[in-house]
Chains A and B, each alone.
Chain A
Amino acid sequence: MIQFDNVSKRYSTGQEALNRLSFHIEPSEMVFLTGHSGAGKSTLLKLTMLMERPTAGQVWVNGTNLKSLGRRHIPAHRRNIGVVFQSHHLLFDRSVFDNVALPLVIAGHDSREVSRRVRAALDKVGLLNKEKQNPIALSGGEQQRVGIARAVVNKPALLLADEPTGNLDPELSADIMNLFEQFNQVGVTVLIATHDLALIARMPYRMMSLSQGRLSSPVLGR
């Protein structure tokens, strides 16, 4: 599903974020990406969803070499990827429902389809009763679940998460991870960047550890 071949990324500031990185994530796999801040986790996610381009090497997502995708192909590429952010990136000028509906509206679904899918996604994260509220009125954990609902509402084949539990207490974090597991169980490929080692240590998934832009230890299998 995701393949990196000798990918290097050097920012214009001179910072070397990734250094000849190669790995492969199979479809329907769930993988954790760990490492200190600045180890290149975010860069890896950004390259995957074309927020950045590699300085060298090639990135493949879902069988497509991202090098072949021009600027105008970026929106279509992103519509097949669900993303969850630590700072959840919700819009506070509209309801929970409208936040979750955004990817569907952008993709041009009709309003009946939109409300059906939004309710299904909100139901999945347990927030169906809050659809009319403004996300600013929700707790941190609830806001993160709205972000997850928005990421999965378009039924993407790939789900990326950047520190999704960064601001949450352990119990809520476990809930969030549990949600990701459920999506993985229905066939979604999940890649989660996190530094919460205690949380993922007892979960039976592959862990990739980044350090200074390289995989710092042999990739652990299940």
Chain B
Amino acid sequence: MAKVARRDTKQKGAQQSHTGLGQKLKAWRASHKQECWASLRRLLRKPGDSLMTWMVIGIALALPAALYLALGSLEQLSSGWDGSARVSLYLNDTVSEEEGQQLAKNLLADGEIAAIEYISAADALVEFKSISGYGDVLDALAYNPLPAVIVVKPAQHLATAEQTDALVARLGKLDPVDQAELDLEWVQRLYAMMDLGRRAIAALALMLALGVLLVMGNTIRLAIENRRDEIVVTKLVGATDAFVRRPFLYTGWWYGLGGGLAAWIIVVVALLWLGGAVARLVGLYGGDFALLLPGPMQSLALLLGAGILGLLGAWLAVTRHLGAIEPR
């Protein structure tokens, strides 16, 4: 009996629907949790429509993601040169092997030189035979056409191209050296091209991200139109703007995340499919190069980035269109 009476007073206390801060926070969290899953269920209830949107976002994001990964593979290829140049000193035919070795040793004492590798004419021939496949032709020659080479790695402190050029000129004037050649140019060209590629991909990604935002905005605008009655009713019974906004923001998040997942699948399938062909092609050139699949961090970045894009697009649509829906 006492219990019943107490309940009664409690009910009266709640007459004006006052709720404590703790209860409000709890309700807020519950509402988020509820809307989060409810909006996902809503998307899954119309799998056809949702899949279309996911694919649009997926395709838009897959292109820059795949290009970015391809660029990463290229960078990995060029990192074998750790960014610095090599100078090849082709020695005169008249220089004997002993003299060549001695020259290499002397050069090592040079302050502008970090490392030396001496490749005798005979070694060069063996190496060339093994990788070029012209073994039989070379065997037919009466003499070894290849010169001995000293490969010089310039010291780290030679940072600028001018300093390296000066070193090359100095080494070229040495008596036993026929020709000094800097193997830097193609590395520089590659870097310049990759830099250009990186910028092009960034620009492309920016434009496609903008496209995703607009697609998202339009999709959410339609979702808002479809639920106009519900919005009016909830506003009439005292829903805050945040409450009305919430399901649409979650919808945007799920669209984005699903689009990111679609992009990931497209990228992985495309890379696996291309990977075999690329390996075969590179193998023909005697190279060792593999397309890199997205790592865990890159995959996570793609998914979260796509989710955030979706959320942003939804936010734009909601701020633009929700204010216009008021009970009349």
Show the binding face of A for B, using Cβ within 8 Å.
49, 51, 72, 75-80, 83, 89-91, 93, 102-103, 105-111, 150, 154-157
Contacts and interface: CB of A to CB of B under 8 A. Distances in A.
Contacts of A103: 237-238
B23 A108 contact: yes
Interface residues of B, number: 29
Contact of A91 (B16, B30, B229, B326): B229
Given A51-B327, A108-B28, A93 B230 contact: yes
Given A51-B328, A106-B243, A83 B236 contact: yes
B17 interface: yes
SS class, residues of chain B in contact with chain A: helix
Interface string B29-59: 0110000000000000000000000000000
Interface of B: 11, 14-17, 19, 23-24, 26-28, 30-31, 229-230, 232-241, 243, 326-328
A102 B233 contact: yes
14 contacts: A49-B236, A72-B240, A75-B238, A89-B233, A93-B230, A107-B19, A107-B238, A108-B28, A108-B30, A108-B31, A109-B17, A150-B237, A156-B17, A157-B15
A109 B238 CA distance: 14
Given A79-B238, A109-B23, 4 more contacts: A79-B17, A110-B27, A154-B237, A157-B16
A127 B200 CA distance: 65
B19 A108 contact: yes
A141 B229 CA distance: 21
Contacts of A108: 19, 23-24, 26-28, 30-31
B23 to A, nearest CB: 7
Given A91-B230, A106-B243, A155 B26 contact: no
B248 to A, nearest CB: 16
Given A51-B328, A93-B230, A102-B233, A110 B15 contact: no
A75 B230 contact: no
Given A51-B326, A51-B327, A107 B17 contact: yes
Contacts of A156: 17
Contact of A155 (B17, B234, B243, B326): B17
B74 to A, nearest CB: 52
Which of A107, A111, A155 is the most central at the interface, judged by chain B CB atoms within 10 Å of its CB?
A107
A90 B19 CA distance: 26
Contacts of A150: 237
Contact of A102 (B26, B234, B327): B234
A107 B239 CA distance: 8
Given A51-B328, A78-B238, A105 B31 contact: yes
B233 A91 contact: yes
Given A79-B17, A157-B16, A106 B238 contact: yes
- Of A77, A83, A93, A108, most buried by chain B (CB within 10 Å of CB) is A108
B30 A102 contact: no
**Which of A49, A77, A109 has the most C-beta atoms of chain B within 10 angstroms of its own C-beta?**
A109
Contacts of B26: 108, 110
A156 B233 CA distance: 17
Contacts of B17: 79-80, 107, 109, 154-156
